[in-house]
Amino acid sequence: MAISRDRLWDEAVVLQTPRRLVTVSSSRDAVIFLRKYWRGRKEELHGCALEVCQRSICGLAHPDAARQAFISAARKAGFTVKSWI
């Protein structure tokens, strides 16, 4: 059984929503955002990002893969994404 733990990313991702800026800096932050604060339709990339981030928390996926999946889903959903890596 995998142990659940937060997986910090090398570089935070900043999303611009209509009302505020949101900083996502770990796989756990991404899961919370994907579950509770996602706007619009939850399409295929949303589900993929959620799965990869959850796997990262369990140590079954690399945090970089979770970060990239999250960025792809956020861009597809129309968020303005600020990322320097």
Please check whether residue 75 lies inside any domain of the structure. yes
Per-residue pLDDT at 20 exceeds 50: yes
Please check whether residue 9 lies inside any domain of the structure. no
Domain carrying residue 73: 25-82
> How many separate domains does the chain show?
1
Please check whether residue 60 lies inside any domain of the structure. yes
CB neighbours of 27 closer than 8 A, spacing ≥ 6? 6, 7, 9, 53, 54, 56, 57, 63, 66, 67
- The percent of residues above 70 in pLDDT, for the chain, comes to 94
Please check whether residue 8 lies inside any domain of the structure. no
Res. 4 pLDDT band, cuts 50 70 90: low
Dist. CA 49–CA 59, nearest whole Å: 15
pTM passes above 0.85 = yes
Dist. CA 75–CA 8, nearest whole Å: 21
Among left, alpha and beta (phi > 0; psi -120 to 50; other), residue 59 is left
